[in-house]
Structure 1
Amino acid sequence: MIRLPVLKHLTISDYGLFPGQPEGSGLDHEFQSGLTLIAGINGLGKTTILTSILRALTGPVDVTGEGAPHALGVSVPENPVALRPKQIAFFAQRVADGAQAALVVLSATFGDQSLRVTRRLADLSLVECVIDGVALPLAGARAEREASFQTALTELMGLGSFIDVLLIMHHVLLFHEDRPGALWDQNAQRQVLRALFLEKDDATRVAQLERLVQSADSQARNIQTRITATERDLREARKREAGSEGVIAQLEAEQKLLDAELVEAARLDSVLADLETERQTVRLEHEKAKHEREEATGAVERLKYTALLNLYPTMDDAARLVVARIMTQAKCLVCDADAEEKRKELEALVEGGCCPACGAEPEKQERIIPQHKFEQAKLDQARRQAELARKEEEAKAARLRVIADTYVQTIAKVGDLRRSIADRKARDQRLRASLPRSTTSDQFEKALVTLRGQQLEWRTKLGEHLLELRTLLSEKEELVTSRSAELMESFVELTNALLAEKACLVQVTAEPRYTQAGRAEDRLRVPAFQADMAAANRPGLVRRIDPSDVSESQRELIDLAFRLSLVRVATQGAPSTFIMETPEASLDGLAMERVGAALAKFAQSSDNRLIVTSNLSNAGLITSLFNGPAKDDAEVVARRGRLINLLQLAAPNRALDRDRAKYEQLLDHALTGDQP
């Protein structure tokens, strides 16, 4: 079972950036259940505190030497990568003494087990690790001590490898200001789903097979490079030895054409695979648009029929149906003729309250209910939606036709190319047979035979690894898809709270490209998730695939909802910690209040810990995080107990020295909820 950390206590001592109050006491904070707010202006060390929490658990390693990458590759490394010196020196370079005596001590629980870890901030070296009150043996070299710690933490979290620990820290639990995307980065999402929802042995094996597939593909491509060079050397040797310039020239010309056609064939294979994927996506979008158009048209029909029913309650049903059919579909129910002009005429009559049968004006009618007016505004809105839906359907249908035509044309090109390639290979063999042989050319040919044999071995291994990976993913797919309903339900609940627009999570199929060529037969299908969200000028919900499909704030809030949903589902409601840096960075005032309320709800559920940093740019967010204005002085005191106040604990910068009173007043207003 997955056990995410529940932070209990943080101490940072002898670190110049946090002298503490009184001076020299450092930073010492107990994380209570619920919210902890780290407040301070820019430059006081909010990011430094979050990084100290991260590095206490991860040490001097990460997914890459630079830390978490902005986007993950298709596979993850087998072992964590040592951080570069600049990253190791993150804490040391911020203080005059190089943090020589500085220590960070972090305590956390994982289910019913406890951990306390102590590290030197100067170089992130491990000083002590205590699990359930028992010190972990830390004998041997530094690398061996770190390996022991990594194994222990991996077991505490119930994950398959320390790389998975790093992935979960970066892409689920720590929502850093740089915001590496858990939802938007398909590779990151796939790796997170693998780590959280597969059994840990299976999760480890999937990651291993992904690396083996990439390695085999890389080896086969490297050998191809050597084959190409050897073939060139062979042609040159034959030219020197045979003096058959004409034949050699033909061979070289044919080889250039063949190489070009092989490259083009590989490109077209990749294009076909992309077209097939796009065709499936657009086909689904077209069906969805068609359904929305039918729904919108039906809404128009119902509005018009209801209007007739309200205006003329005694009208015969058959007559009402005849009139309604003309008004909704511009078709005559009696003779099935086109009735567009009649439709306009009837609508004008009804909208003016005139009888659609005889044209009598309202004041001359006796069998109507005058107070029921035709709800023109509702009808206009329904018509606009129906028109948007119709345009959407037509656009998708047109795109589908273009893709289908392109697909057919590409298939034809591939067929022509394959025939041409076969012909060129046959001509190449005939030309080669006409050349005289020599010791040198024989050596090159033998080398080619060896290289091609090696390449075949690697391609065979590639196929075997792909088959095992495909089989394993297929067998374990249910473990991911079985959690889909929970993820989707949680996502909708959270986005309803976070966003003004309606949004939902949709399960889709991803095709990670494990091989460089991206051939269709090398691709695997795995479960993935994307977001659908309402748009201002399109009917229904629109698929948002790329971060550029949404605004910056929407991108972050959708990803926040996905992360919190992953935490809920993976832990099955067990306590966890979620850390978010400066959520107010890209939000307007109203959005900040929604985000504050949603995060507060997470903080109050189970025994969760929510750690949020704020640069005091918006007091409304802080007040919302605390569930609104304080009711009395006792509540203000309680809120201060959940505060890491860097205005008091951090070494002051020039801005704080100059305007301390104003900043403290801003924080006071935020904690009390009083308007400044």
Structure 2
Amino acid sequence: MISFPLLRRLKVEGYQLYPGPHADGVMDIQLGPGPWLILGVNGLGKSTLLFLMRNLLVGAVRVRPAGFGGDRSDIQNLGDRFFAVRVGDDARSAMGKLEVAFGGETLTVVRRLSNLTLVSAEIHGPGGAVERIDNEEVYRSALARLMHLETFEDALRIVDHIAFFLEARRPLIWDQAAQFEIFRALLMPEQSARLRTLEGRIVSADSSARNVSAVIYKITQDRNKEATRQKSEGQTRARLALLHGAITELKDAEEALQTQLEGLEEERDNARLQLKRADSEVAAAAQDYERFKFDTLRSAFQGIRPTEQYLFLKLATDRICLACGQQADEAAAIVQERVDKGLCPVCGSQHASSDGAPLPEGWRERARGTYAKLETVRAVLAENQKTYDDRAERASKSDKQLLDVRQKIETHRLEIHKLSKLLPAGDAEKLTKEQSRITSFMEQMKEFQAERTTAEGEIEALLADLKRKAEAISDQLQARFDAIAKPFFAEHVRLVYAPRDVRIGQSGKQFPLPAFEVEMTSGATHGDYVRRKAEQVSLSQREYLDLIFRMVLLNVLGESGGSLVVDGPEGSVDAVFAERAGDLFATFASTPNSNAILACNIVEGGFIPRTLQAYPGDQRSSRVINLLDQAVPTAALRDLSPLYMEKVTHILGDER
């Protein structure tokens, strides 16, 4: 039995996208069993919040696409600046904390959102035992252990193919290669790593045998056209081989640097736009402040003829005497002081109409507000300038590295051109040497084929055991699938155990691998037309069949429940099936130690009320994370906030 992750709490601090309910930079979401809804409008950060939960748990990595991958690593890096580039301060001080239960143990993990590095992790076990972790590799091993899996790669597969159903949907019921990898991890966790190693050996040996065969063919075709080389040829060719190898490595580095530079330039350009926007806001605020000062002076000079008024206004604002053209700071200060005290700016006497208040009512508050706004936008400008400088510097460094690599490639090419001219013409001994090479390559090919055969012999028994274990639970999975799917679909739908024979390499032995598929009887045509493929069903049916299959795996193979995190479950269903979808998630979330965390828009209809049907109206708000109150508002939300809030209140009060 596997311990699937049950998300219990998320805390985000210092991340500008989520100022929190009290606008203090803290969002603290208490989760636990049952359904949870993350409500918001487009652009408010619902998908980002779900992806944040996922990346706090596993880090900025993913598994390679499903399939037999040879000896290459299963883990691929994601951009570790995913969250940093979404805010103006690069998330320099932002932290994320996630609390997750695995059966009787609880994991708490903290990461920096600027680059998703691990800050700390703690595992609280039975009896109060605490294990503290501050190393990513140790953390990955601990996560696999908590889930009762052998490898972190398998834990990552379970998270992405079962627990999280995010914006970039990873199919499972429609991808038999993904199913094999999931069943390998779930049904044979103690042998999963061995199976993966043998897969890699088979694929690599098969690929090497085919590559050597291609080399043999080429040499056979070209051997009579090649000539033997002089004694110096060996050294020359060795040097050429080294240079060609170096160029290949440099080209790989060039491609990686080019990709990195494009990303950095995009970040820099985005920061430049933010900087220009902030600069415009500073200019506007400064203009407002100067206009306020000017209007104040004009008010003070009422009753003075326009000519004299103009002279004093220029003196007070520009501090230049128009009579003599000289700097007049002292005289300007005297005029300004008289204006501030409500006195005549010319002679300093009390105005005849003065009631004792030196300035109009509210003037100082307006002055302070105008100046405070100017200071605020100046601070934002300084922060954006810092962000832009940082991103521009990184882009510049990356560009320099790319230039250095390209210069090295060109240098190597010039040397290759010179060395190629040193190679001598051939002679009659070439045929014998080429035949010797062919014989050597044929021996290598036989070795690779033997290695593939040996690995196939070792993996055969393991795959047969995996197939038996899948067959042992197939009835249980099918029964559970039918029980969940029947209330949802109008058509007749059933889960079918359909193992398939595949080759792990492009040649060699075939093996039966466990797999399931769905059969749906069409209600749109005459007769009993059965649909089995993803392209034969609608988008909504495709997604919900996949979701139900994940629910089945969580229910049947989970030791103690788990979380199902879904982005946009309401988007593909109509008004009638929205209610059925709500019932579906409510039922799943009612199973012990399980929850459904759903991010959706504020939609009318039955989806939200039916999802929260187990909670009376006055309790429903406690099951909702309302991003209208906790995230930075969009332009639409700023204009229409009362309408959206009214809709939320209405929807949560609906007792469907």
TM-score range, shorter chain: 0.5 to 0.7
Q: Could you say what secondary structure the match of 1:129 adopts?
A: strand
Question: Which one-letter code corresponds to 2:454 in the other structure?
Answer: E
User: Matched residue of 2:190: which SS?
Assistant: helix
| Deviation sequence 1:206-233 (CA, Å, 0-9, x none) | 1221111111111112212221221122
Partner of 1:444: helix, strand, or coil? helix
Mapping of residues 254-653 of structure 1, within 5 Å: 438-516=428-506, 519=507, 521-536=508-523, 537=525, 539-540=527-528, 542-544=530-532, 546-571=533-558, 574-627=560-613, 635-653=616-634
Measured after TM superposition, the shift of residue 541 of structure 1 is: 6.4
Counterpart amino acid of residue 92 in structure 2: Q
1:34 CA drift (Å): 0.2
- The Cα shift of 1:29 comes to 0.9
In the alignment, structure 1 segments of 5+ residues that lack a partner are: 139-144, 241-436
Query: CA offsets, 1:391-447, max 9 Å, x none?
Result: xxxxxxxxxxxxxxxxxxxxxxxxxxxxxxxxxxxxxxxxxxxxxx94211100000
The one-letter code sitting in structure 1 at the alignment partner of 2:223 is L
- Summarize the Cα distance change of 1:124–1:76 in structure 2 as closer, same or farther, 3 Å threshold: farther
Task: Return the offset for 1:639.
Answer: 1.3
Determine the C-alpha separation between the residues in 2 that align with 1:197 and 1:618: 42
Shift of 1:137: 4.1
2:639 — aligned with what? 658
Are the counterparts in 1 of residues 34 and 596 from structure 2 also a CA contact under 8 Å? yes
Give SS of 1:201's match.
coil
Distance 1:604 1:88, change over 3 A: same
Conserved 8 A contact 1:63-1:77 = no
1:345 maps to: none
Amino acid at match of 2:534: P
Q: Distance in 2 between matches of 1:186 and 1:584?
A: 26
Query: Counterpart of 1:542 in structure 2: which amino acid?
Result: V
CA shift, 1:475, in A, is: 2.9
Is the 8 Å Cα contact of residues 70 and 204 (structure 2) preserved in structure 1?
no
Match of 1:209 in 2: 198
Distance in 1 separating the partners of 2:638 and 2:47: 20
Are 2:648 and 1:667 aligned? yes
**Do residues 81 (structure 1) and 82 (structure 2) align?**
no
Please tell me whether the aligned partners of residues 39 and 614 of structure 1 are also in contact (alpha carbons under 8 angstroms): yes
Q: Tell me how far apart the structure 2 counterparts of residues 109 and 175 of structure 1 sit (CA, whole Å).
A: 19
Tell me which residue corresponds to 1:232. 221
Q: Is the 8 A contact 2:70 2:202 kept in 1?
A: no
Q: How big is the shift at 1:492?
A: 0.6
**Map of 1:2 onto structure 2:** 2
Q: Counterpart of 1:483 in 2: which secondary structure?
A: helix
The corresponding residue for 1:109 is 101
Contact 2:6/2:102, CA 8 A, preserved across alignment: yes
TM score, norm. by length of structure 2: 0.66
**Structure 2 CA distance for aligned equivalents of residues 567 and 76 of structure 1:** 29
Where 1:74 maps in the other structure, the secondary structure is coil
Mapped contact 2:53–2:98 kept (Cα < 8 A): yes
1:97 partnered with 2:83? no
* Offset, 1:74: 2.8
CA offset digits 1:615-663 (Å, max 9, x no partner):
11344211110128x7xxxx33321111111000000110100111111
Corresponding position of 2:130:
134
The percentage of aligned residue pairs carrying the same residue is: 31
1:43 and 2:43 correspond? yes
SS at match of 2:101: strand
CA contact (8 A) 2:579 2:605 kept: no
2:636 and 2:70 mapped to 1: Cα distance?
43
Find the aligned partners of 2:431 and 2:200 in 1 and give their Cα distance: 38
Matched residue SS, 1:584: coil
Distance 1:582 1:562 in 2: 18
In the alignment, does 2:172 pair up with 1:182? yes
- Aligned equivalents of 1:228, 1:618: Cα separation in 2: 67
Secondary structure, in 3 states, of the residue corresponding to 1:152? helix
Partners of 2:90 and 2:618 in 1: CA distance: 36
2:36 aligns to what SS in structure 1? strand
Q: Secondary structure at the match of 2:598?
A: strand
Q: Structure 2: how far apart are the matches of 1:575 and 1:656? A: 37
**75 and 566 in structure 1: CA distance in 2 versus 1, 3 angstrom threshold:** farther
Instruction: Please report how far the alpha carbon of residue 194 of structure 1 lies from its aligned counterpart in structure 2 after TM superposition.
Output: 1.2
Aligned pair count reads 454
Contact 2:206 2:452 in 1 (8 A): yes
- Decide whether aligned partners of structure 1 residues 168 and 78 sit closer, same or farther in structure 2, where only a CA change above 3 A counts: farther
- Taking a change above 3 Å as real, the CA distance of residues 530 and 137 of structure 1, as seen in their structure-2 partners, is closer
Give 3-state SS (helix, strand or coil) of 2:180's partner: helix
Query: Structure 2 vs 1, CA of residues 651 and 561 (structure 1 numbering), >3 Å: closer, same or farther?
Result: same
| CA distance in structure 1 between the partners assigned to 2:70 and 2:163 by the alignment | 19
Q: CA deviation at 1:495?
A: 1.1
Task: Give the partner amino acid of 2:458.
Answer: E
SS at match of 2:201: helix
Q: Decide whether aligned partners of structure 1 residues 118 and 553 sit closer, same or farther in structure 2, where only a CA change above 3 A counts.
A: same
Larger Rg: 2
Secondary structure at 1:641 match in 2: helix
TM-score (norm 1): 0.65
Distance 1:674 1:474, change over 3 A: closer
Counterparts of 2:591 and 2:563, CA distance in 1: 11
Q: Write the deviation string for residues 572-627 of structure 1: whole angstroms up to 9, x where unpaired.
A: 5x221111111111111111110110110111111211101111134421111012
* Per-residue deviation, residues 112-152 of structure 1 (Å, max 9, x unmatched): 111100000110000001011635243xxxxxx21100000
Q: Secondary structure at the residue paired with 2:632?
A: coil
Uncovered stretches (5+) of structure 2, i.e. residues with no partner: 230-426
C-alpha offsets along residues 226-249 of structure 1, whole Å, 9 cap, x if unaligned? Answer: 212211221324999xxxxxxxxx
Are the aligned partners of 1:508 and 1:527 in contact in 2 as well (CA < 8 Å)?
yes
Distance 1:75 1:489, change over 3 A: farther
Post-superposition offset of 1:44: 0.7
Q: For residues 361-414 of structure 1, give each alpha carbon's deviation from its aligned partner in whole angstroms, at most 9, with x where no partner exists.
A: xxxxxxxxxxxxxxxxxxxxxxxxxxxxxxxxxxxxxxxxxxxxxxxxxxxxxx
Mapped contact 2:63–2:74 kept (Cα < 8 A) = yes
CA RMSD of aligned residues (A): 2.1
Return closer, same or farther for 1:127/1:239 CA change in 2, 3 Å cut-off. closer
**1:528-566, CA deviations, whole angstroms, 9 ceiling, x for partnerless residues?**
11111111335446140x210111111111111111111
1:177 is displaced (CA, Å) by 2.5
Determine the C-alpha separation between the residues in 1 that align with 2:193 and 2:529. Answer: 37
| Aligned twin of 2:28 | 28
